[in-house]
A and B are shown apart, each in its own frame.
Chain A
Amino acid sequence: MSTEDLRFTKEHEWVRIEGAKAVFGLSDYAQRELGDITFIELPPIGKQVAHFEAYSTVESVKAANDVYAPLSGEVIAVNSVLENAPEKINQSPYDEGWICRIRVADPGETADLMDAAQYEEYTQGLKS
Protein backbone atom coordinates (compact mmCIF):
# COMPACT_ATOMS: atom_id res chain seq x y z
CA MET A 1 0.00 0.00 0.00
CA SER A 2 1.31 3.43 -0.90
CA THR A 3 2.45 5.74 1.88
CA GLU A 4 2.43 8.81 -0.40
CA ASP A 5 -0.68 10.30 1.21
CA LEU A 6 0.51 9.71 4.80
CA ARG A 7 2.20 12.03 7.26
CA PHE A 8 4.52 10.76 9.99
CA THR A 9 5.74 11.65 13.48
CA LYS A 10 9.23 11.17 14.85
CA GLU A 11 7.72 8.59 17.19
CA HIS A 12 6.75 6.47 14.14
CA GLU A 13 3.01 7.03 14.01
CA TRP A 14 1.31 7.76 10.69
CA VAL A 15 -1.83 9.74 9.90
CA ARG A 16 -3.98 9.75 6.77
CA ILE A 17 -6.09 12.90 6.38
CA GLU A 18 -9.57 12.21 5.01
CA GLY A 19 -11.20 15.63 4.80
CA ALA A 20 -12.21 16.64 8.34
CA LYS A 21 -11.27 13.19 9.66
CA ALA A 22 -7.98 11.36 10.00
CA VAL A 23 -6.81 7.79 10.55
CA PHE A 24 -3.91 6.88 12.87
CA GLY A 25 -1.55 3.92 12.75
CA LEU A 26 2.01 2.75 13.42
CA SER A 27 4.66 2.81 10.70
CA ASP A 28 6.29 -0.21 9.13
CA TYR A 29 9.55 0.87 10.79
CA ALA A 30 7.78 0.88 14.18
CA GLN A 31 6.32 -2.60 13.79
CA ARG A 32 9.69 -3.98 12.72
CA GLU A 33 11.40 -2.41 15.71
CA LEU A 34 8.72 -3.67 18.10
CA GLY A 35 8.66 -7.22 16.78
CA ASP A 36 5.58 -9.35 17.41
CA ILE A 37 2.85 -7.02 18.66
CA THR A 38 0.77 -8.77 21.31
CA PHE A 39 -1.56 -6.04 22.57
CA ILE A 40 -2.75 -2.55 21.74
CA GLU A 41 -4.87 -0.43 24.03
CA LEU A 42 -7.67 0.98 21.89
CA PRO A 43 -8.81 4.45 22.98
CA PRO A 44 -12.50 4.79 23.96
CA ILE A 45 -14.80 6.42 21.42
CA GLY A 46 -15.15 10.09 22.31
CA LYS A 47 -11.68 10.37 23.86
CA GLN A 48 -9.96 13.67 23.15
CA VAL A 49 -6.42 13.07 21.94
CA ALA A 50 -3.80 15.82 21.82
CA HIS A 51 -1.09 16.56 19.25
CA PHE A 52 2.09 14.60 20.11
CA GLU A 53 0.66 13.32 23.40
CA ALA A 54 0.36 9.65 24.36
CA TYR A 55 -3.11 8.22 23.75
CA SER A 56 -2.48 4.47 23.77
CA THR A 57 0.00 1.74 24.68
CA VAL A 58 1.35 -0.93 22.36
CA GLU A 59 2.95 -4.08 23.70
CA SER A 60 5.31 -6.54 22.10
CA VAL A 61 6.36 -9.82 23.69
CA LYS A 62 9.13 -8.10 25.60
CA ALA A 63 8.04 -4.52 26.26
CA ALA A 64 5.36 -1.82 26.35
CA ASN A 65 5.57 1.51 24.50
CA ASP A 66 3.45 4.65 24.43
CA VAL A 67 1.66 5.60 21.21
CA TYR A 68 1.42 9.32 20.40
CA ALA A 69 -1.31 11.19 18.54
CA PRO A 70 -0.08 12.85 15.33
CA LEU A 71 -2.96 15.35 15.54
CA SER A 72 -5.46 16.64 18.10
CA GLY A 73 -9.07 15.54 17.85
CA GLU A 74 -11.84 13.28 19.07
CA VAL A 75 -11.78 9.52 18.58
CA ILE A 76 -14.80 8.51 16.48
CA ALA A 77 -13.90 4.92 15.56
CA VAL A 78 -11.39 2.23 16.55
CA ASN A 79 -10.15 -0.86 14.74
CA SER A 80 -11.65 -3.45 17.10
CA VAL A 81 -10.10 -6.29 15.05
CA LEU A 82 -6.86 -5.44 16.86
CA GLU A 83 -8.33 -6.52 20.21
CA ASN A 84 -7.81 -10.17 19.35
CA ALA A 85 -5.46 -9.79 16.39
CA PRO A 86 -2.93 -7.03 17.19
CA GLU A 87 -0.52 -8.84 14.85
CA LYS A 88 -2.43 -7.10 12.02
CA ILE A 89 -0.19 -4.13 12.81
CA ASN A 90 2.83 -6.30 11.95
CA GLN A 91 1.22 -7.79 8.88
CA SER A 92 -0.40 -4.69 7.42
CA PRO A 93 0.71 -1.53 9.22
CA TYR A 94 -0.76 0.94 6.71
CA ASP A 95 -4.03 -0.81 5.96
CA GLU A 96 -5.59 -3.53 8.14
CA GLY A 97 -3.47 -2.47 11.10
CA TRP A 98 -4.96 1.03 11.44
CA ILE A 99 -5.67 1.96 15.07
CA CYS A 100 -8.34 4.68 15.20
CA ARG A 101 -10.14 7.42 13.31
CA ILE A 102 -10.51 10.90 14.73
CA ARG A 103 -12.34 14.13 13.93
CA VAL A 104 -9.51 16.59 13.36
CA ALA A 105 -9.48 19.60 15.68
CA ASP A 106 -6.74 21.66 14.03
CA PRO A 107 -5.64 20.85 10.46
CA GLY A 108 -2.75 23.32 10.92
CA GLU A 109 -0.95 20.75 13.09
CA THR A 110 -0.10 18.73 9.99
CA ALA A 111 2.67 21.26 9.33
CA ASP A 112 4.62 19.60 12.19
CA LEU A 113 4.58 16.19 10.48
CA MET A 114 6.90 14.59 7.93
CA ASP A 115 5.83 13.43 4.50
CA ALA A 116 6.73 9.93 3.30
CA ALA A 117 10.05 10.97 1.73
CA GLN A 118 11.13 12.94 4.79
CA TYR A 119 10.16 10.06 7.07
CA GLU A 120 12.08 7.59 4.94
CA GLU A 121 15.16 9.79 5.23
CA TYR A 122 14.56 10.16 8.98
CA THR A 123 14.40 6.38 9.58
CA GLN A 124 17.48 5.81 7.40
CA GLY A 125 19.31 8.16 9.75
CA LEU A 126 18.17 6.14 12.79
CA LYS A 127 19.61 2.91 11.42
CA SER A 128 23.16 4.22 11.16
Chain B
Amino acid sequence: MSFLQQRGGRVTPDTNNLKTTPLADHHRRAGARMVEFAGWLMPVQYAGIIEEHLHTRSKAGLFDTCHMGEFYVRGPHAAKAVDRLVTCRLDNLHNGQARYGFFLNEKGGVVDDLIVFRLAVEEYLLVVNAGTLDKDRAWVEAHLEGDVDFSDESYCTAKLDLQGPASSGVMAAVIGSGSLAMIERFRFRHVLIDGIEVLVSRTGYTGEAGFELFFEAGAAGRIWDRLIDFESVRPVGLGARDTLRLEKGLSLYGHEIDEEHTPLEAGLKRFVHFEKDFIGRDALMKQEREGVARSLKGFVCEGRRSPRHGFEIRRDGEVVGSVTSGVFSPCLKCGIAMGYVNLEGTADGGAMVLTDGKAEIRATIQAPPFV
Protein backbone atom coordinates (compact mmCIF):
# COMPACT_ATOMS: atom_id res chain seq x y z
CA MET B 1 0.00 0.00 0.00
CA SER B 2 1.12 3.52 -0.63
CA PHE B 3 -0.11 6.95 0.26
CA LEU B 4 1.55 8.63 -2.70
CA GLN B 5 -1.63 8.72 -4.76
CA GLN B 6 -3.62 10.34 -1.98
CA ARG B 7 -2.41 13.91 -2.17
CA GLY B 8 -3.35 16.60 0.27
CA GLY B 9 -0.77 15.59 2.86
CA ARG B 10 1.10 18.17 4.81
CA VAL B 11 4.26 16.49 6.04
CA THR B 12 6.07 19.39 4.50
CA PRO B 13 9.75 20.02 4.03
CA ASP B 14 10.19 23.71 4.76
CA THR B 15 13.22 24.81 2.75
CA ASN B 16 14.33 27.77 4.83
CA ASN B 17 13.30 26.57 8.24
CA LEU B 18 12.34 23.51 10.26
CA LYS B 19 10.09 20.83 8.84
CA THR B 20 6.74 20.41 10.55
CA THR B 21 4.46 17.40 10.75
CA PRO B 22 0.73 17.74 9.96
CA LEU B 23 0.10 17.75 13.73
CA ALA B 24 2.02 20.91 14.69
CA ASP B 25 -1.19 22.79 15.53
CA HIS B 26 -2.54 19.85 17.51
CA HIS B 27 0.63 19.87 19.60
CA ARG B 28 0.47 23.58 20.30
CA ARG B 29 -3.17 23.31 21.35
CA ALA B 30 -2.21 20.44 23.68
CA GLY B 31 0.35 22.69 25.35
CA ALA B 32 3.44 21.06 23.89
CA ARG B 33 6.87 22.54 24.10
CA MET B 34 8.27 22.36 20.57
CA VAL B 35 11.96 21.82 19.89
CA GLU B 36 14.23 21.15 16.93
CA PHE B 37 14.95 17.47 16.35
CA ALA B 38 16.82 16.23 13.27
CA GLY B 39 15.64 19.25 11.28
CA TRP B 40 12.05 18.91 12.46
CA LEU B 41 9.97 21.00 14.84
CA MET B 42 8.72 18.33 17.25
CA PRO B 43 6.96 18.18 20.64
CA VAL B 44 9.48 17.34 23.37
CA GLN B 45 6.87 17.32 26.12
CA TYR B 46 3.26 18.17 26.97
CA ALA B 47 2.37 17.66 30.65
CA GLY B 48 5.95 16.79 31.59
CA ILE B 49 8.39 14.04 30.68
CA ILE B 50 8.02 12.02 33.89
CA GLU B 51 4.22 12.14 33.89
CA GLU B 52 4.09 11.15 30.20
CA HIS B 53 6.60 8.38 30.78
CA LEU B 54 4.69 6.87 33.70
CA HIS B 55 1.40 7.23 31.82
CA THR B 56 2.79 5.25 28.88
CA ARG B 57 3.98 2.49 31.23
CA SER B 58 0.60 2.27 32.98
CA LYS B 59 -1.98 3.27 30.30
CA ALA B 60 -1.23 4.48 26.76
CA GLY B 61 0.79 7.22 25.11
CA LEU B 62 0.27 8.65 21.62
CA PHE B 63 3.40 9.78 19.76
CA ASP B 64 3.69 11.86 16.61
CA THR B 65 6.36 10.02 14.61
CA CYS B 66 5.49 11.54 11.23
CA HIS B 67 9.09 12.70 10.91
CA MET B 68 10.30 9.14 10.34
CA GLY B 69 11.03 7.91 6.85
CA GLU B 70 9.09 5.47 4.66
CA PHE B 71 10.73 3.93 1.60
CA TYR B 72 8.95 1.58 -0.80
CA VAL B 73 10.75 -0.96 -2.96
CA ARG B 74 8.59 -2.60 -5.61
CA GLY B 75 9.15 -4.85 -8.56
CA PRO B 76 10.00 -8.38 -9.66
CA HIS B 77 13.39 -8.28 -7.91
CA ALA B 78 12.26 -6.43 -4.76
CA ALA B 79 12.76 -9.38 -2.40
CA LYS B 80 16.29 -10.09 -3.57
CA ALA B 81 17.26 -6.42 -3.73
CA VAL B 82 16.03 -5.60 -0.22
CA ASP B 83 17.53 -8.81 1.17
CA ARG B 84 21.01 -7.68 0.16
CA LEU B 85 20.54 -4.27 1.85
CA VAL B 86 19.58 -5.47 5.31
CA THR B 87 21.16 -7.74 7.93
CA CYS B 88 18.02 -9.54 9.03
CA ARG B 89 16.69 -12.72 7.48
CA LEU B 90 14.00 -12.05 4.89
CA ASP B 91 13.54 -15.35 3.01
CA ASN B 92 11.07 -16.55 5.64
CA LEU B 93 9.32 -13.19 6.05
CA HIS B 94 5.71 -13.51 4.94
CA ASN B 95 3.24 -10.92 3.75
CA GLY B 96 2.00 -9.04 6.79
CA GLN B 97 5.21 -9.58 8.75
CA ALA B 98 7.81 -7.02 9.83
CA ARG B 99 11.40 -7.46 11.00
CA TYR B 100 14.06 -5.26 12.61
CA GLY B 101 17.50 -5.02 11.01
CA PHE B 102 20.33 -2.76 9.85
CA PHE B 103 21.83 -1.17 6.79
CA LEU B 104 25.61 -1.59 7.16
CA ASN B 105 28.56 0.04 5.46
CA GLU B 106 31.44 -2.05 4.09
CA LYS B 107 33.19 -1.86 7.49
CA GLY B 108 30.18 -3.36 9.23
CA GLY B 109 29.25 -0.01 10.80
CA VAL B 110 25.57 0.85 11.04
CA VAL B 111 24.24 3.21 8.33
CA ASP B 112 20.82 3.05 9.98
CA ASP B 113 18.51 0.71 11.84
CA LEU B 114 15.10 0.05 10.34
CA ILE B 115 12.05 -2.16 10.19
CA VAL B 116 11.29 -4.05 6.98
CA PHE B 117 7.60 -4.69 6.23
CA ARG B 118 6.69 -7.23 3.57
CA LEU B 119 3.57 -5.77 1.99
CA ALA B 120 3.42 -8.24 -0.91
CA VAL B 121 5.66 -10.66 -2.78
CA GLU B 122 7.07 -7.78 -4.81
CA GLU B 123 6.53 -4.88 -2.41
CA TYR B 124 8.48 -3.91 0.70
CA LEU B 125 8.23 -0.95 3.05
CA LEU B 126 11.38 0.18 4.87
CA VAL B 127 10.83 2.45 7.88
CA VAL B 128 13.95 4.45 8.70
CA ASN B 129 15.04 7.21 11.07
CA ALA B 130 14.29 10.88 10.44
CA GLY B 131 17.82 12.10 11.10
CA THR B 132 19.32 9.75 8.52
CA LEU B 133 16.62 10.04 5.87
CA ASP B 134 18.64 11.78 3.15
CA LYS B 135 21.68 9.60 3.75
CA ASP B 136 19.53 6.47 3.73
CA ARG B 137 17.77 7.43 0.52
CA ALA B 138 21.08 7.94 -1.28
CA TRP B 139 22.51 4.74 0.18
CA VAL B 140 19.50 2.60 -0.72
CA GLU B 141 19.24 3.99 -4.23
CA ALA B 142 22.95 3.42 -4.79
CA HIS B 143 22.79 -0.20 -3.64
CA LEU B 144 19.48 -1.43 -5.04
CA GLU B 145 20.00 -3.94 -7.85
CA GLY B 146 17.79 -5.50 -10.49
CA ASP B 147 14.33 -4.69 -11.72
CA VAL B 148 12.98 -2.61 -8.82
CA ASP B 149 11.27 0.68 -8.32
CA PHE B 150 12.32 2.85 -5.37
CA SER B 151 10.02 5.47 -3.90
CA ASP B 152 10.61 7.72 -0.88
CA GLU B 153 7.11 8.46 0.42
CA SER B 154 8.16 9.92 3.77
CA TYR B 155 6.62 13.31 3.14
CA CYS B 156 3.17 12.02 2.21
CA THR B 157 3.00 9.39 4.93
CA ALA B 158 1.86 10.07 8.49
CA LYS B 159 2.95 7.81 11.35
CA LEU B 160 1.57 7.64 14.88
CA ASP B 161 2.72 5.32 17.68
CA LEU B 162 0.21 4.17 20.28
CA GLN B 163 2.13 2.49 23.10
CA GLY B 164 1.34 1.11 26.53
CA PRO B 165 -0.74 -1.60 28.20
CA ALA B 166 -4.04 0.14 27.37
CA SER B 167 -3.18 0.39 23.67
CA SER B 168 -4.69 -3.02 22.83
CA GLY B 169 -8.05 -2.04 24.29
CA VAL B 170 -8.03 1.21 22.38
CA MET B 171 -7.15 -0.50 19.10
CA ALA B 172 -9.83 -3.13 19.70
CA ALA B 173 -12.39 -0.34 20.00
CA VAL B 174 -11.10 1.40 16.87
CA ILE B 175 -10.52 -1.51 14.46
CA GLY B 176 -12.52 -4.30 16.11
CA SER B 177 -11.21 -7.09 18.27
CA GLY B 178 -11.35 -9.52 15.34
CA SER B 179 -8.89 -7.50 13.27
CA LEU B 180 -6.77 -6.82 16.32
CA ALA B 181 -6.47 -10.51 17.17
CA MET B 182 -4.88 -11.11 13.77
CA ILE B 183 -2.09 -8.62 14.43
CA GLU B 184 0.51 -10.43 16.47
CA ARG B 185 3.82 -8.93 17.50
CA PHE B 186 5.84 -7.79 14.49
CA ARG B 187 2.87 -8.35 12.22
CA PHE B 188 0.61 -5.84 10.54
CA ARG B 189 -2.65 -5.45 8.66
CA HIS B 190 -4.36 -2.84 6.57
CA VAL B 191 -7.58 -1.69 8.18
CA LEU B 192 -10.06 1.14 7.74
CA ILE B 193 -10.38 3.72 10.51
CA ASP B 194 -13.23 6.13 9.79
CA GLY B 195 -12.82 5.36 6.11
CA ILE B 196 -9.08 6.00 6.13
CA GLU B 197 -6.79 3.16 5.05
CA VAL B 198 -4.26 2.53 7.84
CA LEU B 199 -1.39 0.07 8.12
CA VAL B 200 -1.50 -1.07 11.76
CA SER B 201 1.61 -2.82 12.97
CA ARG B 202 2.27 -4.31 16.41
CA THR B 203 5.68 -2.72 16.85
CA GLY B 204 7.13 0.21 18.77
CA TYR B 205 9.99 1.81 20.63
CA THR B 206 8.92 1.88 24.27
CA GLY B 207 9.26 -1.75 25.36
CA GLU B 208 5.51 -1.80 26.01
CA ALA B 209 2.74 -3.50 24.09
CA GLY B 210 1.87 -1.13 21.31
CA PHE B 211 1.21 -0.22 17.72
CA GLU B 212 2.57 1.89 14.91
CA LEU B 213 0.05 3.34 12.44
CA PHE B 214 0.92 4.45 8.90
CA PHE B 215 -1.49 6.31 6.65
CA GLU B 216 -1.77 9.24 4.26
CA ALA B 217 -0.47 12.48 5.73
CA GLY B 218 -3.68 14.42 5.12
CA ALA B 219 -5.54 12.24 7.63
CA ALA B 220 -3.09 12.76 10.50
CA GLY B 221 -5.33 15.14 12.43
CA ARG B 222 -8.39 12.88 12.14
CA ILE B 223 -6.56 9.75 13.32
CA TRP B 224 -4.82 11.66 16.11
CA ASP B 225 -8.15 13.08 17.33
CA ARG B 226 -9.81 9.69 17.18
CA LEU B 227 -7.13 8.09 19.39
CA ILE B 228 -6.54 10.96 21.80
CA ASP B 229 -10.29 10.99 22.62
CA PHE B 230 -9.88 7.77 24.62
CA GLU B 231 -9.58 8.50 28.31
CA SER B 232 -6.56 6.23 28.69
CA VAL B 233 -4.61 7.93 25.88
CA ARG B 234 -2.44 11.01 26.38
CA PRO B 235 0.04 12.72 24.07
CA VAL B 236 3.67 11.90 24.71
CA GLY B 237 6.66 13.84 23.41
CA LEU B 238 10.16 12.98 22.31
CA GLY B 239 11.50 13.51 25.84
CA ALA B 240 9.59 10.55 27.25
CA ARG B 241 10.17 8.59 24.03
CA ASP B 242 13.86 8.73 24.91
CA THR B 243 13.48 7.79 28.60
CA LEU B 244 11.05 4.97 27.71
CA ARG B 245 13.40 3.41 25.17
CA LEU B 246 16.48 3.79 27.39
CA GLU B 247 14.83 2.08 30.37
CA LYS B 248 14.31 -0.91 28.07
CA GLY B 249 17.85 -0.73 26.68
CA LEU B 250 16.73 0.01 23.10
CA SER B 251 19.44 1.56 20.97
CA LEU B 252 19.06 5.02 19.44
CA TYR B 253 20.74 5.75 16.13
CA GLY B 254 23.48 8.37 16.57
CA HIS B 255 24.02 7.28 20.16
CA GLU B 256 24.42 3.53 20.67
CA ILE B 257 24.69 2.72 16.99
CA ASP B 258 26.35 4.64 14.17
CA GLU B 259 28.73 4.10 11.27
CA GLU B 260 31.67 3.58 13.67
CA HIS B 261 29.97 0.81 15.65
CA THR B 262 28.84 -2.62 14.48
CA PRO B 263 25.78 -4.62 15.55
CA LEU B 264 28.14 -7.12 17.20
CA GLU B 265 29.68 -4.43 19.40
CA ALA B 266 26.17 -3.17 20.22
CA GLY B 267 25.06 -6.64 21.32
CA LEU B 268 22.55 -6.84 18.46
CA LYS B 269 23.82 -9.96 16.71
CA ARG B 270 20.37 -11.55 16.84
CA PHE B 271 19.28 -9.11 14.12
CA VAL B 272 22.09 -10.27 11.81
CA HIS B 273 21.57 -13.35 9.65
CA PHE B 274 25.02 -14.51 8.59
CA GLU B 275 23.66 -17.32 6.39
CA LYS B 276 22.91 -14.92 3.55
CA ASP B 277 24.65 -12.18 1.61
CA PHE B 278 24.33 -8.56 2.72
CA ILE B 279 26.42 -5.40 2.46
CA GLY B 280 28.98 -5.33 5.28
CA ARG B 281 28.87 -9.06 5.85
CA ASP B 282 32.57 -9.70 5.19
CA ALA B 283 33.70 -7.13 7.76
CA LEU B 284 31.16 -8.40 10.25
CA MET B 285 32.19 -12.04 9.72
CA LYS B 286 35.79 -11.05 10.34
CA GLN B 287 34.80 -9.31 13.57
CA GLU B 288 32.72 -12.32 14.54
CA ARG B 289 35.75 -14.61 14.10
CA GLU B 290 38.24 -12.32 15.81
CA GLY B 291 35.98 -11.02 18.55
CA VAL B 292 34.99 -7.47 19.44
CA ALA B 293 37.30 -5.08 21.32
CA ARG B 294 34.48 -3.11 22.95
CA SER B 295 30.95 -3.83 23.94
CA LEU B 296 27.76 -1.92 24.73
CA LYS B 297 26.79 -2.15 28.41
CA GLY B 298 24.04 -0.83 30.65
CA PHE B 299 24.66 1.17 33.83
CA VAL B 300 22.47 1.80 36.86
CA CYS B 301 23.58 4.75 38.98
CA GLU B 302 23.61 5.01 42.75
CA GLY B 303 21.62 8.22 42.98
CA ARG B 304 19.34 10.58 41.13
CA ARG B 305 22.21 12.34 39.39
CA SER B 306 22.30 11.17 35.78
CA PRO B 307 25.20 10.68 33.39
CA ARG B 308 24.93 12.11 29.88
CA HIS B 309 26.16 11.31 26.38
CA GLY B 310 29.96 11.72 26.31
CA PHE B 311 30.66 11.06 30.00
CA GLU B 312 33.79 8.98 30.56
CA ILE B 313 33.43 5.52 32.06
CA ARG B 314 36.18 4.88 34.60
CA ARG B 315 37.17 1.82 36.56
CA ASP B 316 39.67 2.34 39.38
CA GLY B 317 40.47 5.75 37.91
CA GLU B 318 41.24 4.39 34.45
CA VAL B 319 39.10 5.38 31.46
CA VAL B 320 37.54 2.19 30.05
CA GLY B 321 34.80 3.64 27.87
CA SER B 322 32.26 6.33 27.08
CA VAL B 323 28.55 6.90 27.76
CA THR B 324 26.31 6.92 24.67
CA SER B 325 23.00 7.79 26.41
CA GLY B 326 22.12 8.68 29.97
CA VAL B 327 18.96 9.93 31.65
CA PHE B 328 17.05 9.94 34.90
CA SER B 329 14.85 6.84 34.95
CA PRO B 330 11.32 7.86 35.95
CA CYS B 331 10.51 4.27 37.01
CA LEU B 332 13.70 3.54 38.99
CA LYS B 333 14.19 7.12 40.27
CA CYS B 334 17.90 7.01 39.54
CA GLY B 335 20.29 7.65 36.69
CA ILE B 336 20.62 5.00 33.98
CA ALA B 337 22.94 4.86 31.00
CA MET B 338 24.36 2.84 28.17
CA GLY B 339 27.90 3.07 26.89
CA TYR B 340 30.78 1.27 25.23
CA VAL B 341 33.53 -0.25 27.37
CA ASN B 342 36.69 -2.22 26.76
CA LEU B 343 36.03 -5.82 27.57
CA GLU B 344 38.58 -6.43 30.32
CA GLY B 345 37.18 -6.13 33.81
CA THR B 346 33.81 -4.84 32.77
CA ALA B 347 31.53 -7.75 33.63
CA ASP B 348 28.01 -7.36 34.99
CA GLY B 349 28.02 -6.05 38.52
CA GLY B 350 31.29 -4.19 37.97
CA ALA B 351 31.58 -0.88 39.83
CA MET B 352 32.29 2.11 37.58
CA VAL B 353 32.45 5.88 37.87
CA LEU B 354 30.77 7.93 35.14
CA THR B 355 32.16 11.45 34.93
CA ASP B 356 32.40 14.61 32.85
CA GLY B 357 35.29 15.83 34.97
CA LYS B 358 32.94 17.64 37.36
CA ALA B 359 30.22 15.25 38.43
CA GLU B 360 31.36 11.79 39.53
CA ILE B 361 28.53 9.27 39.46
CA ARG B 362 28.97 5.79 40.89
CA ALA B 363 27.27 3.14 38.79
CA THR B 364 27.07 -0.62 38.37
CA ILE B 365 27.14 -2.50 35.10
CA GLN B 366 23.79 -4.18 34.54
CA ALA B 367 22.37 -5.77 31.40
CA PRO B 368 19.26 -3.93 30.17
CA PRO B 369 16.29 -3.84 30.19
CA PHE B 370 16.52 -1.85 33.42
CA VAL B 371 12.77 -2.11 34.10
Contacts and interface: CB of A to CB of B under 8 A. Distances in A.
B328 A57 contact: no
A36 B49 contact: yes
Contact of A39 (B51, B243, B306, B358): B306
Interface string B158-195: 00000000000000000000000000000000000000
Interface in A19-67: 35-36, 38-39, 41, 57, 59-64
Contacts of B49: 35-36, 60-62
Chain B interface size range: 20 to 34
B45 interface: yes
Nearest to B240: A61
A86 interface: yes
Nearest to A36: B50
B304 A64 contact: no
Contact of B303 (A39, A61, A63): A39
A115 B288 CA distance: 65
B interface: dominant SS: mixed
B243 A64 contact: no
A interface: dominant SS: loop
Interface residues of A, number: 14
Contact of B239 (A35, A39, A57, A64): A35
Interface of A: 35-36, 38-39, 41, 57, 59-64, 84, 86
Interface of B: 33, 44-45, 48-51, 239, 242-243, 303-306, 308, 327-328, 330, 358-359
7 contacts: A38-B328, A39-B304, A59-B304, A59-B305, A60-B49, A61-B239, A84-B304
